[in-house]
Amino acid sequence: MTFRPRLAVPVIVIACAAGWLLLGKLRGPELEAYPVTARPLVQTVVATGRVVAVSRAQVGSPVTGVVLERRVREGDAVQPGDVLAVLRADDLEAAAAEAEAALAQLRRSTRPQAEAALREAEARLQQASREAARRRDLFERQLIAREALEQALQAETAARSAAEQARLRANEQAGGGTAEAAAMARLETARAQLAKTTIRAEVAGTVLTRNAEPGDLVQPGRVLFEIARAGDTELLVPVDEKNLQVLALGQPAMCVADAFPDRPFPATVTFIAPSVDAQRGSVDIRLSVSPVPDFLRQDMTVSVNVETGRRDSALVVPNDALAAIDGSSAQVWRVADGRASRQTVGLGLRGMALTEITAGLRDGDQVLADAGADIEDGSRVRVSAAGIPADANDPATRKELPARLD
């Protein structure tokens, strides 16, 4: 038999390839795997909200009038007493002028006339009293008839009554009397009504909206200005109701304004609504911001990461290694002695990228990175190291988090 070297080489190559394939099949496919390790873990709820004032004041006009001046615009800071707008109300100006004229007439004319009438009435009373005394003397000496005496006494009584009435009128018109008090009250009322044509801020804050321009006719009930009260700034954030069980008052949060993604700032949960919005399936929470960054504006969109749990050291696996998640349990592909097997594990805190394992795995175990790997339970596999995802709660990466609930 003749040896043919040219045929031997292909045969050897084919045999090697077949052997290699057989060996690879026996060793299993090469898949990425994560080591189960202990490390710090933070659980957060991520949501989007808006900047809101603790309260807002709506300013309107208590009287009907035409706007003469508007002295503020959106964004202006105001203090109590600052003028926001000035109205023209001719009827109120006329009422105030009429009340002033009435008071002046009382002091310059009515009061002097009453005092003069009192002096005249007292003089007539004195004269009538003297005449009555003279006739009484004459009657006692039987020089006049009784009828003449009675006429004198009647005249004295009438004069005394007239003097008393004049005295009452004079006292009423005197300084500090009831007439002057009433006139001053009417004047103060008219002035108070007229003062309402100057619309002032009642609280310190920032003007958010203005709905009045010179020439506009305004009436009571119409909101002319909206002012955000100065004070603590809050964030109003609706979160999915499924996260309600992990939320609590006092929890810290890290926030990022969409307009300033490189300037995160802290906040604290101060309010959790007692009811759930049935249409949205969400619950509103409020977070207090202190100190307040100077770049925050009313109604600005803000992404919020509320820290709902923390472990200084927790046994964790990346979230993409978990399958069939059901509440506090899930399944992973655990690799041991070159074989992969399904393992049910208990879940604890769930972070943005990592989840705490409370049961089913130990430190140093390996789990496949692909929770949905198309292999059979007990299959042989070869593993290659996969990098553990970065902590999504690191302050440097918070601005990149999705503006929605995790």
What secondary structure does DSSP assign to 354-397, as a single string? EEEEEES--TT-EEES-TT----TTEE-EEEE-PPPP-TTSTTT
First vs last C-alpha separation in the chain: 75
- Report the alpha-carbon distance of residue 304 to residue 320 in Å, rounded: 24
- Report the alpha-carbon distance of residue 317 to residue 313 in Å, rounded: 13
Residue 266, pLDDT score:
95
Token couple for 94? 């006329």
Alpha-carbon distance values, 358 to 8, 38, 329, 347, 391 (Å)? 59, 11, 9, 6, 19
Which is it for the CA torsion 156, 162, 164, 167, positive or negative?
negative
Count of CB atoms situated within 10 Å of the CB of 127? 13
Residue 251, pLDDT score:
94
Phi/psi of residue 341, nearest 5 degrees: -140, 145
Closest CA to 124 of 168, 170, 156: 156
Residue 315, pLDDT score:
92
CA atoms within 13 A on the CB side of 251: 24
Token couple for 59? 């300013």
Quote the distance between the C-alpha of residue 373 and its chain's center.
50
Each of the 406 residues of the chain gets a pLDDT tens digit; together they read: 444 555 555 555 555 554 444 444 455 788 888 999 898 988 889 999 999 877 788 899 998 989 999 999 988 889 999 999 999 888 888 888 888 888 788 788 888 888 888 888 889 889 989 988 888 888 888 888 888 888 888 988 998 998 898 888 878 777 777 877 888 888 888 888 888 889 999 888 888 889 989 999 999 989 999 988 877 789 999 999 999 989 999 999 999 999 999 999 999 999 999 999 999 999 999 999 988 888 888 889 999 999 999 988 899 999 888 988 888 899 999 998 889 999 999 998 888 788 999 998 999 899 998 877 878 888 898 888 776 776 545 433 333 333 333 3
Count of CB atoms situated within 10 Å of the CB of 271? 13
